[in-house]
Amino acid sequence: ERGIIRFIGYKPGERAAGQELLLSAERRMRDVGGREALAFAHDYSYPFYHLAFGYLSDRLGHVMGLLGINGYKVAPEGTYSRREEVFFDWRGFDIPSPEHPVPDLRVEVERKGGLGKLPNVRFHLRQGADHVGVCETYCAGHWTRAAEAQETSFVTWLAVNDDRQGRGWGRFLLLSALYELRHMGYRNSAISTNLTNYRAMTFYANLGYEVVGNGYEFTKSLV
Paired with 112 in beta bridges are: 120
pLDDT in tens, 182-217: 999 999 999 999 988 999 999 999 999 999 999 999
**Whole-number pLDDT of residue 48:** 85
Stronger pLDDT, 197 or 75, i.e. the higher one: 197
What is the pLDDT at residue 37? 96
Q: What percent of the chain has pLDDT over 90?
A: 83
Residue 82 makes CB contacts below 8 A (sequence gap 6+) with 42, 194, 217
133-160 pLDDT per residue, tens: 999 999 999 999 999 899 999 999 999 9
CA 87 to chain centre: 7
Find all residues with CB under 8 Å of 78, minimum gap 6, and list them: none
Give the Cα separation of 58 and 212 in Å (integer): 10
pTM comes to 0.89
pLDDT value of position 82:
54
In this prediction, residue 149 carries a pLDDT of 94
Burial of 219 (0-12, 13-18, 19+ CB in 10 A): buried
Supply the pLDDT for residue 77: 63
Mean pLDDT of 55-64: 95
Residue 80 confidence (pLDDT) above 70: no
Find the mean pLDDT for residues 38-50: 89
Give the three-state DSSP class for 180: helix
Q: What is the mean pLDDT of residues 115-140?
A: 96
What phi, psi does 88 have (nearest 5°)?
-120, 150
